[in-house]
Chain A
């Protein structure tokens, strides 16, 4: 392997401080249930993602990847610990401000695409803009431009049922990026796709979602796409076991 590997039990601070990191989490714990049935999903996780970085979270099923990424994206409250997003502690924001922050600064790509069946590709891709109050026509126009940039020119008016799996995931990618979020969170974005399609989706994601002031966090099992990562965080049993530096 030409790539340098860094193994650590705790991630090392690599930026100027918590406020300079895209994601800066310390001591995150999260449990589900109570009493004897309680499951500890996260056991004091520390995580840092730098601006301009593509970080992959990998590990066996049930190791806490999705829980961690949900906490990072501000859609799940941790039990303990602190998580800053571009210096902003979402847990301390009032609910409505947290929701609006998410709408403005975070993009999502899901394993199951989650495209709305009755909306066209352009309307689906425009949803974050619509949520942010951009008028329908303008939002759809901007979404159509982005769809063209992910190779779906001419398919703006197609319904999800008229698109292949790869095309649907590219619509989902466009939806995650259309409002130019600073952090894009992807959950198994390629697991439902064949290799060639998965590679195309990853190329698009890396080109569009990662630059100096943006970051991309991908939860995946798919070893075929590890080569796109800048760093890979290996999780097991609710903790990050090691960080693999691919640069």
Chain B
């Protein structure tokens, strides 16, 4: 053995000590692969639950007023005073349209029919769809994006336009033989609505609705033919307010003059959303799952991370005995916690985004991944890992360095 000729070390700034020891902290973390993967898995699952469920909830909320969003040109919706939300149909007499048109501040007003209608498929099955009757003259209320055909083709006799999701999904032509795939509906195909012929002249893109039903657009007059005839068929009156007054003022004036409910588009969206929130248990159900995700994530992650620290407690005691400061140890544990949080959250968010992309083409609710949601769930994950880290830091800081001599 050679004689040790080294000179005593010169103490270095604390910052440098911390950064060098951080590398050791990461090696300790990655070195225990089983626990590292366990912690990452826990955080990933918690992230998925905390992103996917609220994302789906937001998507469902958006779907409750998606039809109002799609009809963008009018800015006031007039309806029966008892209507509570967009799918709540309480038709008016056609004459109400003229009363609304006469209110000061109304630039124009057009009728809109919105109702449910059975569609019979070629194999005899029936599918419930949303039938929309647009103003014959202006076709206001029609889809914003046409994929095939033109909106003006609705002027062709017996014509209808079908939304893309419906054409590819529930309204697709049934497979000829078991095991074969259904054929998407295309321009020129014919549907049967209430025993009447409907010629498909276009395919449009529309936002998904809460009921996830196919949407069939036609003219107001033709919609009344397709629908079972009732005395009152006018579901909504779509109004464009003049720009010289606030639209809320005009809406209140319409209500005052006609005794009908009149809401701006934003007010009607909120009314529809509020109905969903206050009359269903959807918030409680989704909120519970999010809470469970948070609690399970915190419990699993916290437990595994705490065990990881406990397993390494003797080594932290060695560091302590050998001169590592509390600040150094604190930063080592925080770095480990934040890193596993970052990696787990990244995987969870990525997996949820992939899942959302896959769900995007289906008829059901999609996942709405807004930056606010990602930020909030990221903060929740950060909270989980910081809580876990704080428990571990407390344990390590309370640790007597003298335990290093225990076998």
Q: Which of B6, B12, B20, B319 contacts A180 (CB 8 A)?
A: B6
Q: Using a Cβ–Cβ cut-off of 8 Å, how many residues does chain B contribute to the interface with A?
A: 43
The reply on A135 being an interface residue by CB < 8 A is: yes
The reply on B325 being an interface residue by CB < 8 A is: yes
Chain B, 193-230, contact with A by CB distance < 8 Å: what is the 0/1 string?
A: 00000000000000000000000000000000000000
Complexed CA–CA distance, A123 and B21 (Å) = 11
* Residue of B whose beta carbon sits closest to that of A120: B27
A104 contacts B2, CB within 8 Å?
no
The reply on B108 being an interface residue by CB < 8 A is: no
The reply on A142 being an interface residue by CB < 8 A is: yes
A136 surroundings in chain B (CB, below 8 A)? 20, 23
Q: Which of B8, B13, B400 contacts A179 (CB 8 A)?
A: B8
The reply on A39 being an interface residue by CB < 8 A is: no
B1 contacts A151, CB within 8 Å?
yes
A130 contacts B315, CB within 8 Å?
no
B336: min CB distance to chain A, Å = 12
B401: min CB distance to chain A, Å = 4
Complexed CA–CA distance, A112 and B405 (Å) = 8
The reply on A158 being an interface residue by CB < 8 A is: no
A128 contacts B322, CB within 8 Å?
yes
Chain A, 175-204, contact with B by CB distance < 8 Å: what is the 0/1 string?
A: 001111110000110000000000000011
A149 contacts B1, CB within 8 Å?
yes
The reply on B324 being an interface residue by CB < 8 A is: yes
Q: Which of A70, A103, A142, A150 contacts B322 (CB 8 A)?
A: A103
Q: Which of B315, B321, B323 contacts A132 (CB 8 A)?
A: B323
A179 contacts B321, CB within 8 Å?
no
The reply on B178 being an interface residue by CB < 8 A is: no
Q: A75-B401, A112-B407 are in contact. Are A103 and B27 (CB under 8 A)?
A: no
Q: A76-B402, A127-B24 are in contact. Are A149 and B2 (CB under 8 A)?
A: yes
Chain B, 305-329, contact with A by CB distance < 8 Å: what is the 0/1 string?
A: 0000000001100111111111010
A11-19, A42-50, A94-102: which lies at the interface: A94-102
B181: min CB distance to chain A, Å = 53
Complexed CA–CA distance, A70 and B401 (Å) = 9
Q: Which of A111, A114, A117, A207 contacts B3 (CB 8 A)?
A: A207
Complexed CA–CA distance, A66 and B321 (Å) = 14
Q: A103-B324, A131-B21 are in contact. Are A111 and B407 (CB under 8 A)?
A: yes
A169: min CB distance to chain B, Å = 14
B314 contacts A130, CB within 8 Å?
no
A22: min CB distance to chain B, Å = 14
Q: Which of B1-56 contact A (CB under 8 A)?
A: 1-4, 6-14, 16-17, 20-21, 23-24, 27-28, 30-32
* Residue of B whose beta carbon sits closest to that of A107: B322
The reply on A8 being an interface residue by CB < 8 A is: no
B256: min CB distance to chain A, Å = 75
* Residue of B whose beta carbon sits closest to that of A101: B323
* Residue of B whose beta carbon sits closest to that of A116: B315
Q: Which of B1, B314, B324, B402 contacts A207 (CB 8 A)?
A: B1
B9 contacts A180, CB within 8 Å?
yes
Q: A130-B24, A135-B16 are in contact. Are A203 and B1 (CB under 8 A)?
A: yes
Chain B, 325-342, contact with A by CB distance < 8 Å: what is the 0/1 string?
A: 110100000000000000
Most buried by B among A131, A132, A142, A180: A131
The reply on A122 being an interface residue by CB < 8 A is: no
A177 contacts B4, CB within 8 Å?
yes
* Residue of A whose beta carbon sits closest to that of B406: A66
Complexed CA–CA distance, A67 and B147 (Å) = 83
The reply on B404 being an interface residue by CB < 8 A is: yes
B332: min CB distance to chain A, Å = 11
B27 contacts A131, CB within 8 Å?
no
- A-side residues, CB < 8 A to B, are 66-67, 69-70, 73, 75-76, 96, 99-106, 108, 110-112, 114, 116-119, 123, 127-136, 139, 142, 146, 148-151, 177-182, 187-188, 203-204, 207-208, 219
Known: A102-B323, A130-B20, A148-B2. 16 other contacts (CB 8 A): A66-B402, A66-B406, A67-B402, A76-B401, A99-B323, A100-B323, A105-B8, A111-B407, A117-B31, A129-B9, A131-B322, A132-B12, A135-B20, A149-B2, A150-B1, A180-B7
Selected A-B contacts with CB under 8 Å, 7 pairs: A99-B320, A99-B323, A112-B407, A127-B319, A149-B3, A179-B9, A203-B1
Top-3 shortest CB links A-B: A103-B323, A118-B31, A133-B12
